[in-house]
Amino acid sequence: MTSEIDIEAFDWSDKIINHIWEHEVDPWEVEEVVFDDPDVEIRHGDDEEHGPRWMAQGHTAKGRKLRIFMNPCQNREGIWYVITAWEEGR
């Protein structure tokens, strides 16, 4: 499903790496879900509390089901940043 939107790479800051690690998720797991899971679901959402963002849901190669919230970087086509990520069911 990533072919419908342009995600070429993620821009990883230390702040977001530390944040998702609090949820016991590594950046490589996020990339594995988005780029390698053939069944990944990516959809756009918007809510009053968090505003517009994209959500990806899929599995790592080891079978962990992750939910990832992300947005495209402004003025950097194909580059996205992660807002948060966690394992489903935790």
Two tokens, residue 87? 């394992």
SS3 22: helix
Residue-wise pLDDT for 6-56, tens only, equals 899 999 999 999 999 999 999 999 999 999 999 999 999 877 777 789 999
DSSP structural state of residue 85: E
pLDDT-derived band at 3, boundaries 50, 70, 90: very low
Residue 29, exposed/middle/buried by CB under 10 A (0-12, 13-18, 19+)?
Answer: buried
Nearest-angstrom CA–CA distance, 35 and 52: 22
Q: Buried (b) or exposed (e) across 45-58, using 16+ Cβ within 10 A? A: eeeeeeeeebebbb
